[in-house]
Structure 1
Amino acid sequence: MADRKKFRTMISHSQGMVFPTLHTPTGAVPADAPRWNPQRPSAMPHHRYQSAHERVALPLADRTWPSRRIERAPLWVPVDLRDGNQALAEPMDTERKRRMFDLLVTMGFKEIEVGYPSASQTDFDFVRHLADSDAVPEDVTISVFTAARKDLIDRTIASVDGLPRTLVHLYTATAPTWRNVVLGRSRAEVHELIRDAATYVLRRVEERPDADMRFEFSPEVFNLTEPDFVLEVCNSLTELWEASPDRPVVHNLPATVEIATPNVYADQIEYMDRHLARRESVILSVHPHNDRGTGVACAELAVLAGAQRVEGCLFGNGERTGNVDLVTLALNLYAQGVNPMIDFSDIDAVREVVEHCNRLPVHPRHPYGGDLVHTAFSGTHQDAIAKGMTHHAKQAAEMGVPAEQAPWAVPYLPIDPGDIGRTYEEVIRINSQSGKGGIAHLLRTHHSLDLPQAMRPDFSHIVQQVTDATGQELTHKELFELFRATYLAPALDGPVTLVSWSTAETVPGEHQFTCTLQIDGQERSCRGTGNGPLSALAEALRAVGITIDILGYAEHSISTGPGSPAVAYAECRVDDVTCWGAGWDTSVLTASVHAVMAAVNRSGRASS
């Protein structure tokens, strides 16, 4: 017992030395904690923070959003060129902005926030570039962002002159902390500030009667603002801007800083959906950020709760932890059989442009778009995927439709990688965690080798030895080379090789195998008979002291047509050692003979 305590003390001291800035929790286990949960309270000052329920009123009790389904995509509004751009260490220049804009148009976005023209000359110049270059399609609306100041509004209105359709996006922070600390104004004063700015925007727009201009308002930090105050402000602007069903206003309700679980945001959105005045004249929009890592969930639940429009960025770029990711949102719908209304048929092309324009990489594990999201290294996953792909191809053939049109149900792959321009090459990759199913899948897919089930564990063991030793993954080409060196090469390069051989059926059902063997550099002639060429070969080998039994055999062609090679696999017991060999030749008989000879040489008993 004393030794055990001493050992624990040593381990604890060692951990403290390795991680000197961390403090292992030492508080008392809560009295009501079950025995299976021995976690202890940490010393981190959690008491400094309040829950969302203590910070903002949450009046909705009879929520209905949990029982709804999303059956149609909302209007997606990318803000990469404004909100995303503001978050970059190196904001985009006009060339990068234009490339991003062209990508968004090509993908099918119909409303695009292109900048904050009163905040920088670059943004102003880009909006003018769009107006002067005739770059905006007839059905695309350009959104521009402005704070509630007359001089900034003037600059914003000047930037959009000549654009066919625009949305002027006015914002002001409305949450108590922002009112008190940042603006230094009361609720009434903030409302007056917003209404004055909205009135000025309306007046400036009315000076352009031929322009197609609509309005958007964002009560920044909506999710921490009193619901009655948000309603008061939004309803007053709906009336001021004379919203109608054919000329609706956008009320955009941002989770500017995530502060609660997504269900809380959904409750807030449903409350607004129910209580906004002239609801048919309002487009209810959301703009979640990702501070808690739940931006996607917030947006999805908000759509269930009544949101009709979602602002976000491709791959989730944005301030701090980013804006909600429109790629994930849209493809989540796609995976549920809902048309996303946006094209992602070449997701790598999309990612390439985003990485170029943002000068930020997309994480390899990022949903749908990362390099590794369709890749399985785990043996269990690889086996399931390989079987699923085989079943999918078979099912498509039975239905008489191309595989890319057949219903998709492959384990571990929510969508067909081919639908977003990915190949199946990266789906299964081989490292020390890989299993026999994935290895067999790669050999079959890329090299037309269909390893017998009984042979797969043997080769898997060989692969694992290599990957464990190197710590690296194997490409399908390296995998084939390892197979060749392990199972094919020994037939022609080992202690026992065939110098020459022939076989003939001497009488019906009886075959004779005649050969000259080179054994450890010395040639020996031998002959054997059997009920087939391979059994006759086994008998010939016994004549020179090599006892062999052929336990299993399989063969198949590599391709179709005359002259196509065949591969043969033989499981043999040589003396008391069981091993596999393989042969490759345009002659099936030659391939089978080589498979047996490879097994003999791999056994390590041939020379004895």
Structure 2
Amino acid sequence: MSDRIYIFDTTLRDGEQSPGATMNMREKVRLARQLERLGVDIIEAGFPAASQGDFESVAKIAEAVKDCSVAGLCRSVKSDIDAAWGAIKGGVSPRIHTFIATSDIHMKYKLGKNRDQVLEMTKEAVSYAAGLCPDVEFSAEDASRSEPVFLAQVVQTAIAAGARTINIPDTVGYAQPQEYGELIRYLIDNVPNSQEAIFSVHCHNDLGLGVANTLAAIKAGARQAEVTLSGIGERAGNAAMEEVIMALNVRRDYYNLETRVDTQQIYPSCRLLSMIIGQPIPPYKAITGANAFAHESGIHQDGMLKNRQTYEIMTPDSIGKSSSDIVIGKHSGRHALKSKLDELGYKLTEEQLTQVFQAVKNLADKKKQVFIEDVEAVVLEEVYRIPDRFKLKYLSSMSGNMAIPTAALRMEVRGEEKQLSDFGVGPIDAVFNTIDRLVERHPKLLRYSVNAITGGTDAQGEVTVKLEENAMTSVGRASDPDIIVASAKAYINALNRLAKKEGDPRSDVGYYDSVTP
């Protein structure tokens, strides 16, 4: 059995189905390139049959990525398989990933099929996919709740039809580590042609066991792990890539297994995802959280001063989280900024670099220190965002316990400059009310959250809003040293996304029906 573990990252497919985690096409391509830099083996880029926008995003990613495989997910029907192949066939190393449910509850209530029909559909779908693409992965949806003998029949059929990777998902996070490991071992030992395929696992986190189940399966013989950055995904999410990788790395003595992941790209990758989807990394998040390498207890501090290994089983540097803050100020040069951005994986054009450089200079005039997190926020704000139909030109707000909260704004609305002032119960409410009147829309605010990008009272505020209007939702995000300005930008960003969805239901915003193995 090989000692190599293949990392299959589904952040752009299963992860993006997480509420509030939608990404536009440029953001998806940017994250795919970072995943390539991280060293994952396979990127599941999306579900091409779900929408024209998803098809185009997968195709763009397949075209952009050169150093790893790009997979497209599809149901076990020819039209889906054709769509997946059409999207990925231009890539260097394409993979068709097809699936069908195998648990009794799914077959009865979702598919309306019996076991013989599912076996026949498996054979037909995998055979058809293998005729198009030499690299075919088959997933038995809800495998952990499937009857083992029947599951073995399905796996044997899929391998005989041409599948070279067999995924055994814990789709609803039901399995326990020991029984899940035993299921993987059972299949490897009892499927006659099991040696012809790599066994893979895709674990959801409904009971908080996604990573534990993944590692148990790997110990039992699985050699591909399907994971997401920061564990994002449907419901309670998926097995977190960074936790699986660092468990294999730190406990190499126990697993004796290798991946090709560059662990120093783990934190930059999770941080980029956080900035793109506007959801902060929780401070207590394993591996990448702000508290993961923080020590407050006197006993712990004493031990750390004597020997770091007393309370740290890995170092911040090992995941790419520098213990020293990189400060860029108003006197920093363009070359220094470019060098740092290159190091972080941001390959900007000269025009984009000029745009970011000027924005950083403007930020340095407002803040005492500009940290690398601030620079990353500027890049995301200035470069990687959808074109705006609504733009903020000027904002002034007034509030206090002796004043009526008031906001005055000047905006560009579909190419026309407009200005207006309005009131609210607080400064943010006044700003949002004014924006609504200027753009002549009245969405419902579902979520409003603020996160400080760095420490200090002059930290940039990172704001995320979620809006709903006409049965459509969108997430907007923005950052600025002034939290009211950041709030306005985030609100306008969400309005732009709503407008894009309404203008073209096949847009690259990335919304589609949830479909998952």
Task: Give the residue type in structure 2 aligned to 1:226.
Answer: E
Larger radius of gyration: 1
1-structure distance, mates of 2:107, 2:189: 26
Which of the numbers 303, 307, 310 marks the counterpart of 1:411? 310
Give deviations 1:433-475, integer Å, cap 9, x for gaps. Answer: xxxxxxxxxxxxxxxxxxxxxxxxxxxxxxxxxxxxxxxxxxx
Q: For the structure 1 residues 339 and 74, does the alpha-carbon distance in structure 2 shift closer, same or farther, using more than 3 Å as the test?
A: closer
Higher relative contact order (CA 8 A, sep 6+): 2
Distance 1:76 1:346, change over 3 A: closer
Q: Measure, in 1, the Cα distance between the counterparts of 2:239 and 2:315.
A: 24
Conserved 8 A contact 2:144-2:169 = yes
In 1: Cα distance, 2:209 partner to 2:236 partner: 10
The letter of the residue matching 1:317 is I
Distance 1:341 1:213, change over 3 A: same
Relative to structure 1, the CA distance from residue 106 to residue 130 in structure 2 (aligned partners, 3 Å threshold; closer, same or farther) is same
Mapped pair 1:274 → 2:203: no
Please tell me whether residue 136 in structure 1 is matched to residue 73 in structure 2: no
Structure 2 match to 1:251: 166
How much has 1:421 moved relative to structure 2? Answer: 3.4
Secondary structure of 1:254 counterpart: coil
* 1:25-57 superposed Cα distances (whole Å, 9 cap, x missing partner): xxxxxxxxxxxxxxxxxxxxxxxxxxxxxxxxx
CA distance in structure 1 between the aligned counterparts of 2:81 and 2:265, rounded to whole angstroms: 39
- Corresponding residue for residue 38 of structure 1: none
1:12-31 aligned at under 5 Å gives the runs: none
Residue number in structure 1 paired with 2:18? 87
Is 1:176 equivalent to 2:104 in the alignment? yes
2:126 pairs with 1:198:
yes
What does residue 224 of structure 2 align with? 309
For 2:205, what is the secondary structure of its paired residue?
coil
Aligned residue for 1:286? 201
Residue pair 2:122, 2:157 contacting (<8 A) in 1 also: no
CA shift for structure 1 position 411: 1.2
Q: How many Å apart are 1:73 and its aligned residue?
A: 4.9
Q: 1:71 to 1:178 in 2, by over 3 A?
A: closer
Local SS of the residue matching 1:345: helix
CA distance in 2, matches of 1:348, 1:164: 27
State the AA in 1 paired with 2:128.
Y
State the alpha-carbon separation in 2 of the partners of residues 353 and 170 from structure 1. 29
Q: What does residue 53 of structure 2 align with?
A: 122
Q: Which residue of 1 aligns with 2:37?
A: 106
Counterparts of 2:84 and 2:175, CA distance in 1: 34
Match of residue 368, structure 1, among 283, 287, 291: 287
Task: Tell me which stretches of 4 or more aligned residues in structure 1 moved more than 6 Å.
Answer: none
Say which of 149, 155, 158 aligns to 1:234. Answer: 155
**SS in structure 2 opposite 1:81?**
coil
Cα offsets for 1:170-215 (capped at 9, x unmatched): 1111111111111222211222232232333344x1xxxxxx6311
Q: Does the aligned pair in 1 maintain the 2:46–2:73 contact within 8 Å?
A: yes
Please tell me the residue identity of whatever aligns with 1:272: L
Equivalent AA in structure 2 for residue 153 of structure 1:
I
**1:449-468, aligned counterparts within 5 Å?**
none
Give the letter for the 2:57 counterpart.
F
CA-to-aligned-CA distance 1:215-267 (integer Å, 9 cap, x gap): 111010000001111111111121122x6xxxxx1100001112232111011
Rounded to whole Å, the distance in 2 between the matches of 1:419 and 1:199 is 43
Alpha-carbon shift at residue 363 of structure 1 (Å): 1.1
Matched residue, 2:270: 351
Q: Deviations over 1:546-593 (max 9, x none)?
A: xxxxxxxxxxxxxxxxxxxxxxxxxxxxxxxxxxxxxxxxxxxxxxxx
What does residue 213 of structure 1 align with?
134
Partners of 1:109 and 1:348 in 2: how far apart?
Answer: 14
Q: Distance in 1 between matches of 2:238 and 2:183?
A: 19
Write the distance in 1 (CA, Å) between the matches of 2:239 and 2:219.
16
Name the CA distance, whole Å, in 2 between partners of 1:275 and 1:357. Answer: 44
| Paired AA for residue 46 in structure 2 | G
Change (3 A) 1:176 1:371: same
Letter in 2 for 1:258: G
2:175 & 2:165 partners in 1: Cα distance? 24
Change in CA separation of 1:252 and 1:370 when aligned onto 2, cut-off 3 Å: same
Match for residue 299 of structure 2 among 366, 380, 404? 380
Contact 2:12 2:45 in 1 (8 A): yes
Cα distance in 2, alignment partners of residues 71 and 142 from structure 1? 22
Aligned residue for 2:14, secondary structure, equals helix
The residue identity in structure 1 corresponding to 2:248 is: L
Question: Superposition pairs for residues 516-595 of structure 1, below 5 Å?
Answer: none
Asked if 2 retains the 8 angstrom alpha-carbon contact of 1:175 and 1:225, the reply is yes
> Is 1:344–1:350's contact at 8 Å kept on the other side of the alignment?
no
Determine helix, strand or coil for the equivalent of 2:32: helix
Distance in 1 (CA, whole Å) between partners of 2:154 and 2:2 is 31
1:125 Cα deviation from its structure 2 partner: 0.4
Q: Is the 8 A contact 1:285 1:309 kept in 2?
A: yes
Give, in angstroms, the shift of residue 356 of structure 1. 2.2
**Structure 1 counterpart of 2:80, one-letter code:** L
Cα gap change, 1:217 to 1:421, in 2 (>3 Å)? closer
Paired residue type of 2:64: A
Equivalent position amino acid for 2:106 in 1: W
Displacement after TM superposition at 1:340 (Å)? 4.3
SS class of match (2:37):
helix
* In structure 2, C-alpha distance between the alignment counterparts of 1:173 and 1:214, rounded to whole Å: 21
Do the aligned residues in 2 keep the contact of 1:165 with 1:213 (CA within 8 Å)?
Answer: no
- TM-fit CA distance, 1:166: 1.2
Partner of 1:223: 144
Q: What amino acid does structure 2 have at the position aligned with 1:93?
A: N
User: 1:499-514, aligned counterparts within 5 Å?
Assistant: none
What is the CA–CA distance in structure 2 between the aligned matches of 1:151 and 1:382, rounded to whole Å?
Answer: 60
SS of 1:233's equivalent? Answer: helix
| Residues 1:340 and 1:156: Cα distance change in structure 2 (over 3 Å) | closer
1:267-320 per-position Cα deviation (integer Å, ceiling 9, x unaligned) = 111101111222331111111111111111111111110101110101101111
The answer (yes or no) to whether the contact 1:99–1:357 under 8 Å persists in 2 is no
| AA of the residue aligned to 1:193 | M
Name the counterpart of 2:93.
Answer: 165
Q: 1:416 to 1:339 in 2, by over 3 A?
A: farther
What is the letter of the counterpart of residue 134 of structure 2? M
TM-score for both structures, normalised by structure 1: 0.51
Cα separation, partners in 2 of 1:101 and 1:424, compared to 1, 3 Å: closer
- SS at 1:290 equivalent: coil
d(CA) in 1 for partners of 2:103, 2:142: 6
Q: Report the Cα offset of residue 88 of structure 1.
A: 3.6
> What do the CA deviations read for 1:512-538 (whole angstroms, capped 9, x no partner)?
xxxxxxxxxxxxxxxxxxxxxxxxxxx
CA contact (8 A) 2:243 2:287 kept: yes
Look up the match of 2:320.
421
How many residue pairs align between the two structures? Answer: 325
